[in-house]
Structure 1
Amino acid sequence: MGKPVPLPVVQIGATALDQTDQTLDMIRGMLSESPAEAEYGLDIGKSIVQFKSGKPGSIKPKATAGRTNEGNRPTFALMDEVHHWVSSNGGPDFYQTIKRNIEKTTKAGSRWVCTTNAYNPNEDSVAQIIHESDMVTQGFWLYDCLEGSISVEDIRDEASVRASLVEAYGDATWADIDGLTRTILYDRTTPDSTYCRFFFNQIAESSDGWMSKSEWDACLDEDDPIMPGDQIAIGFDGSVRGDSTGLVGIRMRDAKLFVLNVWERPEHAPDDWEVDVLAVEAAVNRSFADYRVAWMYADPPYFQEAIGRWSIEHGDDTVFEFWTNKPTRMVQAVERFRTASMVGDLKHNGDSRLSRHVLNAVTREVPQGLLITKDSPRSKRKIDLAVCAVLALEARADAIADGRMNIRRSRVVGF
């Protein structure tokens, strides 16, 4: 139950100030029809609500700039549309800052509320972070959601669509159920996953995602761990500054993926941060020392000289260049990986870094077929380990075709 507080500071947070307009307009509309101005002396402005007397207290919009909000002491914070609060716009940092500020004064009655549509589980948004939090599952935070029960298979059935919309919209009697039903049934320009998320409140992947979380989770195999001495193939994708550099292995006998190493730019690293090339070379040499490497594919940009050394040290019949910017060959490798994951011929050990990169990848159509790429050129959502995994599987396939798994072992026989 609401109660007066000595210094009321209300913040409305969003990824951009324009996104707070709808909530602030709603607040202004409700206050203008109440005794707020006359009885409480409020000045109801377009972008801020405050006391006419100058007494401390306000309702203000805030945008995602976590560091500038550190140390504020809001008594109430509304974080709006948190399914859009992702790492590329600073959303998770902003959320942590607001939540941390609120938690310092919860004894005095401070609270926060988030509003959201169903999140895309490939994006690691604040909505997903909250939904998967132990604070929700243990009942310490209140989570309230109405979801339509329709399945994707029934999304063209009028009765099912209508019934599911009624479920999802609950007592929102102003919703145009008939109009929404017609839109879903006859509009073919919008992906079904969008309807599931924004009309039925169901958690669904974006339509251009390369692989869904459920598909990737189906490849998880936590048994039979990778051991030193196992025969493996390796995929390598290198960078210097902008992207990550990764090294992924795959066991030859069962196509089980695992991360050998990865170098990612830290979140608050200086502008001149670079990958430690010597550490990368040491990791490659350690991989050859710890495992029996049958084949290695390495994307050459930035590391052509290093790849040449690896070829000399470990065999030019083992280390090969694989140019990922050559679409014909890369399309075939991506298709092999996708098919293997769908038919159960691919496994992984659950490494969260590899999973994050695989689920970050989206598809891009080229004349030769489908490639994988980041969701935007400047995106902070990296996919380099996914590229490494594709190269690793391709290396394994070529090693098998070359007979590398048919290793003849000598044995001593006594008579």
Structure 2
Amino acid sequence: MLLVVPGPDPEPWPTLGPQICDLIEDRAIYGPGSLQGEPYEIDPEFRAFIHRAFEVFPKGHPWEGRRRFKRVGLSVRKGLAKTEKQALLAFCELHPEGPTRFDGWDASGNPVGRPVNSPYIPMLAVSVEQVEELAYGALKYIVEEGPDADLFDSTLDRIVRLNDHGRADGKAVALSNNPGSRDGARTTMNCFDEPHRLYLPRQLKAHQTMDANLPKRPLDDPWSLYVGTAGQPGQGSVAEEIHIEATQIAEGKIQRPDLFYLYRTDDDPERDLSDKDERIRAIAEATGPIGEFGPGQFDEIASKWDRPGADGPYLERVWLNRWKRQGDQAFDMKKIKPGLCRSGERIPKGGFITLGFDGARFRDATALVATSIDTGLQELLGLWERPDDDDLEDDGWEVNEAEVTAAVEDAMTRYAVWKMYADPPHWTETVGSWAAKWPDRVEEWWTARVKPMAYTLREYREAIDSGSITFGGEHSHEDFVRHLGNAGRKELKIVDDEGKPLDVLQKQDGRADLKFDAAMASVLSWKACLDARKSGARPPRPVGMPRRIY
């Protein structure tokens, strides 16, 4: 299946694409790999992608000659040299003869391109090492080993374009997730490699900063390029936001979009992936017309599903480019987002609620979640996260206890709270003080009790499956959903009454950076909500004003 948005127009748009393709095939080479150093040949699908990506507004339009799309996304399966494709387009942007900007019309009415003035191309990935190994590394090889090597000066962290006098006239830089160091940069092209890996707060901030830099050079028509593979739904990654926007464009919900997006996958719901022949057909569909790079390649990829312990969802994600939750992801985020998300909805003041509290004082995060007993709407009332800073010492941060207690007091005052279920480890004394203050409302609920926790988690999933629970909030909504997507699962050696294995929450793959305390607090709050309903709990009667009886 091929998703291309926006779809084709009845009348083709003017494009600089043919000139871009000519430059690549005339002056660029293959990056590191089996064909490294050989002249690059553009396959038909990539050629069509380039033509669409470089469309410009037609003659007579108020924006004549400007880029139609300020953002361009390419999402294809693993192994299709997508990173090299990003490097090639960055090469065109950096090249002193790169026809990447509009410079008028020729006699036939076709747009003519020119190089951008003093290009600045930050290439962002999860770490500097990843940038150097992926897109930046491919670009470095292309400029160093290609026929125009004398036009550039490259090092491990920057590639400089040289002018006729041998002086710097623009550059591409390897950039990790440090937004502050590039704040203020006058960018002409942003490159985001593997954006499905950009989901932590500091990475999202880096993306936000880089995106905010684009309007600083309006005369140079700057733009962004996103190249990668499908990620895990619910993580809130840069790739996921782009993919959701593309889906909305396809559904006609966004008028005059500035995003062009090509997504190739196999999404046949009837595909039986337990059958190897079906897997081979799925891989062929996700690959597209370019086909196998060598005899038996698809068969070799399909064999990965047969290995003991193979993670099927992971294989579907990387080889079929499906948005699939990882095998150890606790919740099906496709059901939660956008189906159960109610961004902006809040529990009204005085609402009859339950609370869930979980967290660590020194590591990870601490969270407080409310659930409306009447509607099932949940809201994240408080979240205290350890900053994602690699230079921060493990013992250098602690949750502000006074802030947490203030949030609990506010909830107890603002709402009619039936019960608060709090996981006491790390907060034993504090939870005890709350219980002393609100003895009928605060209860300890130990999540370390494996079997009760597993059945509570099953009840929570049943609520998601049935749509009985929804997730609201305003400023805290995205953090709430992120924590739900971060939650992992650990399968237990015990089964439920139907013979199905039970599981509990844990970090995904031991990833310390994936905080999920708001998810655990959500589960506890929902458990308290169910207990309230089972007991027939009712909100307390409002205290009436005395009146005189005559």
Task: Give unpaired runs (5+ residues) of structure 1.
Answer: 410-415
On the 8 A contact 1:234/1:248 being kept in 2, the answer is: yes
Q: CA deviation at 1:83?
A: 1.6
Tell me which of 360, 364, 385 is aligned to 2:486.
Answer: 360
On the 8 A contact 1:169/1:175 being kept in 2, the answer is: no
Task: Figure out how many residues of one structure are paired with residues of the other and give that number.
Answer: 404
Q: CA deviation at 1:363?
A: 0.8
Q: CA deviation at 1:198?
A: 1.8
One-letter amino acid of the structure 2 residue matched with residue 140 of structure 1 = D
Cα distance, 1:344–1:113 mapped onto 2, change above 3 Å? closer
Tell whether 2:345 aligns with 1:213. no
Tell whether 2:251 aligns with 1:251. no
Tell which deviates more after alignment, 156-165 or 230-239: 156-165
What is the CA–CA distance in structure 1 between the aligned matches of 2:361 and 2:332, rounded to whole Å?
29
2:433 maps to: 309
Q: CA deviation at 1:72?
A: 3.4
On the 8 A contact 1:363/1:373 being kept in 2, the answer is: yes
What is the CA–CA distance in structure 2 between the aligned matches of 1:226 and 1:48, rounded to whole Å?
51
Task: Give unpaired runs (5+ residues) of structure 2.
Answer: 1-15, 17-98, 100-113, 495-501, 542-550
Q: How does 1:123-202 map to 2 (within 5 A)?
A: 123-133=235-245, 137=254, 138-151=256-269, 153-157=271-275, 160-176=278-294, 178-181=296-299, 183-184=301-302, 187-189=305-307, 190-202=310-322
One-letter amino acid of the structure 2 residue matched with residue 388 of structure 1 = A
One-letter amino acid of the structure 2 residue matched with residue 308 of structure 1 = G
One-letter amino acid of the structure 2 residue matched with residue 251 of structure 1 = S
1:413 maps to: none
Q: CA deviation at 1:337?
A: 1.8
Tell me which of 126, 130, 140 is aligned to 1:15.
Answer: 126
Q: CA deviation at 1:390?
A: 1.6
Q: CA deviation at 1:358?
A: 1.6
Report the secondary structure of 2:422's partner residue.
Answer: strand
One-letter amino acid of the structure 2 residue matched with residue 246 of structure 1 = A
For normalisation by structure 1, the TM-score amounts to 0.79
Q: CA deviation at 1:211?
A: 0.5
Cα distance, 1:55–1:141 mapped onto 2, change above 3 Å? same
Q: CA deviation at 1:99?
A: 3.2
What is the CA–CA distance in structure 1 between the aligned matches of 2:347 and 2:168, rounded to whole Å?
61
Q: How does 1:7-406 map to 2 (within 5 A)?
A: 7-19=118-130, 20-24=132-136, 26-27=138-139, 30-31=142-143, 35-37=147-149, 41-42=151-152, 49-50=159-160, 51=162, 54-57=166-169, 58-87=171-200, 90-133=202-245, 137=254, 138-151=256-269, 153-157=271-275, 160-176=278-294, 178-181=296-299, 183-184=301-302, 187-189=305-307, 190-217=310-337, 218-219=339-340, 226-253=347-374, 255-264=376-385, 274-315=398-439, 317-349=440-472, 351-367=477-493, 369-375=502-508, 379-399=512-532, 403=535, 405=537
One-letter amino acid of the structure 1 residue matched with residue 490 of structure 2 = R
On the 8 A contact 1:150/1:160 being kept in 2, the answer is: no
What is the CA–CA distance in structure 2 between the aligned matches of 1:41 and 1:230, rounded to whole Å?
68
One-letter amino acid of the structure 1 residue matched with residue 118 of structure 2 = L
